[in-house]
Chains A and B, each alone.
Chain A
Amino acid sequence: MALRDERVTLAHGGGGKAMRDLIEEVFTSVFQPDGMEDQARLDCAALAEPGAQLAMTTDSFVVDPVEFPGGDIGKIAVCGTVNDLAVGGARPLYLTAAFIIEEGTEVALLRRIVASMQAEAEKAGVRIVTGDTKVVGRGMADTVFVTTAGVGVIPAGRQMEASKIRAGDVAIVNGVLGDHGAAILAARGDMALSAEIVSDCQGLGYLVEAVIAAAPDVRAARDATRGGVASALNEMAEAAGVAIEIDETALPIRTEVKGMCEILGLDPLYLANEGTLVLFVPEDQADAALAAMHALPEGRGAVAIGRALDGEPGRVTMRTLFGGARIVDMLVGEQLPRIC
């Protein structure tokens, strides 16, 4: 063990032996990328399939606190990028991971983050093949920021995109809404609310594959992260030029999350998720899609929440409990807690 420090110092970003020790002991010993070169060299066999497409995505992760009930920044970084690939119909294969680390960050915390990234990558069947670390002075970053890029392959003939959604298609979510956003709010601890809410942070690669197998004409899926399900639906309605109507009574929202939203004046439809997707399937394949989802842990709570309609393009409405209707618009800025 060459790395004796308990906390990261600027020396660990200096390019010398301290940096090498940090990278080798904390990062590469766990991720085990191939070779020693400063680049990943990947097998193109999957890509060589005629008609296949390469899918690439990147995402940066900043979350306060970096560890929270149900996950940590590392788990989100892997799940988020895997999910971005999966909802586009790609099979995720490789990830990169770059870390901006604030001086003073505990090495043990980094080890926990890296371990959870590796565990999640194994679960999702992807490999973290290259990466980078930078150390910045105290106050220049908030503990640690992670950027991941992902590469995947979309098999020939597969085309999932929101523009394919047609009136009559059924909207399905894979489980409860808003858990991640609520868990983060509770974990920040500045609300004096003690709620046992755990983030829904999870990879969705296998779930999307299962849906495609059961419902081959699945139109499109979206990972409902920032801005929640409401924003995902609005984006899809706009891209498809259809109206979408959801049913308030069908929305799966945990009692604790509803309660927290009631207290703070937030709307769970806009709370962030990290393992929740919204997908549209033709009506005659909806039951098959639901059954396939129910067979997997990440889809156990799957339900239909509404459908696409002929109507004002881009308009999302919700049928309320009493049969009234209200518009579910895009969120402006961020949700702010109310006064009273």
Chain B
Amino acid sequence: MKYADEFRDPVAAKALLDAIARVVDQIGATAEKPVHIMEICGGHTHAIFRYGLDKLTPAGIEFIHGPGCPVCVLPRSRVDECIELAERPEVIFTTFGDAMRVPGTQKSLMQAKADGADIRMVYSPLDALELARRNPDREVVFFGLGFETTTPSTALSIQQAAREGLTNFTVFCNHITVPPPIKALLDDPHMVLDGFVGPGHVSMVIGVHPYDFITKDYGKPIVVAGFEPLDLLQSVLMVLEQIRDGRAEVQNQYARVVPEHGNAVSIAAIEDVYEMRPTFEWRGLGEIDESGLRIRDQYKAFDAEEKFGIGYAAGPRDVEDPEGCACGQVMTGRMKPVMCPQFGKGCTPEMPLGALMVSSEGACAAYYQYGGARAVAAK
């Protein structure tokens, strides 16, 4: 923790906050005319609220919460498919804990488990692999979800399963990539974004160059950031300085973790196992070209979509979001959580309408958890 505490030093934070206030003044940003900075990653959204940074930074900065919560961006149909898989008698369905409470059309995985489905929470796909080895008479399916942060570990588990010749291990692949939804948001004429705080752990895998288009094609600054409060404050300052100076560069604040060109071993594993789907459906953004991954033919024995005939293998499926649910709007930063008519009323952590309220990286969960249900009263 010594390592983490250094990045939570109140004195250093104060100095950064002072510097931020100065640059905001130099830009001339005010509460009425703020600079809009999008933190792409849900982990950053939560850190901002956990440390109260939204209240400590000047009113001239408006944080727009981006689409970087891997559970939140999945359309409900994908959750339904998980439950369909999990309820097959031969299946042990394995998932990260985060996905357990996300509501599908009828129920969540948590409810399906209570109804008798064999659903196990795991900490890594390698745990799922171990379950497959120990239960040769069962089908172990791993719910592969997440951005480039989690994709390599799923790829490695598939490579390992192939080496061992396991025939009862598959991955329900819902891995997605960060740059395409950013591009979709930048192309949206209704969005006003002045700069980005870039995802730290995704960049640890892919490096900083996949963001070059943000600076070159759209002229917006982006700073790849760590997750500690000082990381975030420093990154915000760097974004603001770029805006003040009229620069648009990719900067790396999180250089202690993020190498410029990413992690070659991880990238090679991803390349080996996955290929781009032509399109993938995002909640709130619709189908986005080349934004999701599927398992290559070479490894199709480990593809749950192939084996069980679901997901994209079963053709398109239309599932509407529940009425009044504005998850899509919130997820893409078009609406603040508390502006959603359902926030804290029809949608709470106990009875969620959408994933944003229950995922550990969901924006609504952050507002609710750290602003409390009282945020509702305040609006």
Residues of B within 8 A of A2 (CB): none
A290 to B80, CA, bound (A): 54
Among listed B29-37, B249-257, B308-316, B368-376, interface-contacting one:
B368-376
Given A324-B53, A324-B55, do A336 and B370 touch, yes or no (CB 8 Å)? no
Q: List B residues 1-59 near A (Cβ within 8 Å).
A: 1-2, 4, 8, 10, 13-14, 43, 49-53, 55-56
Residues of B within 8 A of A336 (CB): 97-98, 100-101, 121, 360
Among listed A90-98, A257-265, A296-304, interface-contacting one:
A257-265
A216 to B328, CA, bound (A): 56
Residues of B within 8 A of A258 (CB): 1, 4
Residues of B within 8 A of A1 (CB): none
Q: Which 8 A-B pairs have the closest CB atoms?
A: A324-B52, A336-B97, A327-B372, A332-B349, A338-B360, A340-B149, A337-B97, A339-B96
Q: How far is the CB of B87 from chain A (nearest CB, A)?
A: 21
**A339 touches which of B4, B50, B361, B369 (Cβ 8 Å):** B361
Given A192-B123, A321-B8, A323-B10, do A339 and B70 touch, yes or no (CB 8 Å)? yes
**Would A338 and B98 count as touching, CB distance under 8 A?**
yes
Q: How far is the CB of A109 from chain B (nearest CB, A)?
A: 23
**Would A338 and B97 count as touching, CB distance under 8 A?**
yes
**Would B56 and A339 count as touching, CB distance under 8 A?**
no
**Would A327 and B374 count as touching, CB distance under 8 A?**
yes
Known: A324-B56, A339-B361. 15 other contacts (CB 8 A): A191-B123, A255-B1, A262-B1, A315-B374, A320-B51, A325-B55, A326-B49, A326-B52, A327-B369, A333-B101, A336-B98, A336-B360, A337-B98, A339-B149, A340-B201
Nearest residue (CB) in A for B147 is: A340
Q: How far is the CB of B167 from chain A (nearest CB, A)?
A: 24
B182 within 8 Å of A (CB atoms): no
B145 within 8 Å of A (CB atoms): yes
**Would A324 and B51 count as touching, CB distance under 8 A?**
yes
Q: How far is the CB of A332 from chain B (nearest CB, A)?
A: 4
Q: Classify chain B: how many residues form its interface, as a range.
A: 35 or more
A262, A315, A322: most-surrounded residue (chain B CB, <10 A): A322
B146 within 8 Å of A (CB atoms): yes
Residues of A within 8 A of B70 (CB): 339-340
**Would B121 and A322 count as touching, CB distance under 8 A?**
no
Residues of B within 8 A of A191 (CB): 123
Given A315-B372, A322-B14, do A190 and B127 touch, yes or no (CB 8 Å)? yes
Nearest residue (CB) in A for B71 is: A339
**Would B123 and A337 count as touching, CB distance under 8 A?**
yes
Residues of B within 8 A of A329 (CB): 368-369, 372-373
Given A321-B51, A339-B70, A340-B146, do A265 and B56 touch, yes or no (CB 8 Å)? no
A312 within 8 Å of B (CB atoms): yes
B221 within 8 Å of A (CB atoms): no
Residues of A within 8 A of B55 (CB): 324-325
- A175-201: CB near B (< 8 Å → 1, else 0) gives 000000000000000111000000000
Nearest residue (CB) in B for A319 is: B52
Nearest residue (CB) in A for B120 is: A190
A323 to B10, CA, bound (A): 8
Residues of A within 8 A of B99 (CB): 339
Q: List A residues 37-67 near B (Cβ within 8 Å).
A: none
B157 within 8 Å of A (CB atoms): no
B229 within 8 Å of A (CB atoms): yes
Residues of B within 8 A of A322 (CB): 10, 13-14, 51-52, 56, 229
Nearest residue (CB) in B for A338 is: B360
Nearest residue (CB) in B for A258 is: B1
**Would A339 and B360 count as touching, CB distance under 8 A?**
yes
Given A258-B1, A336-B101, A340-B149, do A312 and B374 touch, yes or no (CB 8 Å)? yes
A6 to B147, CA, bound (A): 51
**Would B96 and A338 count as touching, CB distance under 8 A?**
yes
Nearest residue (CB) in A for B228 is: A262
Residues of A within 8 A of B123 (CB): 190-192, 264, 337
Residues of B within 8 A of A265 (CB): 360
Q: How far is the CB of B9 from chain A (nearest CB, A)?
A: 8
Q: How far is the CB of B260 from chain A (nearest CB, A)?
A: 21
Q: List 5 A-B contacts (CB under 8 A).
A: A255-B2, A329-B373, A337-B97, A338-B97, A339-B360
Q: How far is the CB of B147 from chain A (nearest CB, A)?
A: 8
Nearest residue (CB) in B for A325 is: B52
Residues of A within 8 A of B177 (CB): none
B266 within 8 Å of A (CB atoms): no
Residues of B within 8 A of A325 (CB): 52, 55
B350 within 8 Å of A (CB atoms): yes
A321 to B56, CA, bound (A): 12
**Would A326 and B50 count as touching, CB distance under 8 A?**
yes
A339 to B96, CA, bound (A): 6
A338 to B122, CA, bound (A): 10
Nearest residue (CB) in A for B70 is: A339
Nearest residue (CB) in B for A323 is: B10
Nearest residue (CB) in B for A257 is: B1
Q: How far is the CB of A270 from chain B (nearest CB, A)?
A: 11
Nearest residue (CB) in A for B52 is: A324
- B59-102: CB near A (< 8 Å → 1, else 0) gives 00000000000110000000000000000000000001111110
Residues of A within 8 A of B71 (CB): 339
B242 within 8 Å of A (CB atoms): no
Nearest residue (CB) in B for A332 is: B349
A293 to B371, CA, bound (A): 35
Residues of A within 8 A of B43 (CB): 340
- A158-175: CB near B (< 8 Å → 1, else 0) gives 000000000000000000
Q: List B residues 104-125 near A (Cβ within 8 Å).
A: 110, 121-124
Nearest residue (CB) in A for B202 is: A340
A338 to B4, CA, bound (A): 18
- B117-153: CB near A (< 8 Å → 1, else 0) gives 0000111100100000000000000000111011000
- A241-266: CB near B (< 8 Å → 1, else 0) gives 00000000000000100110010110
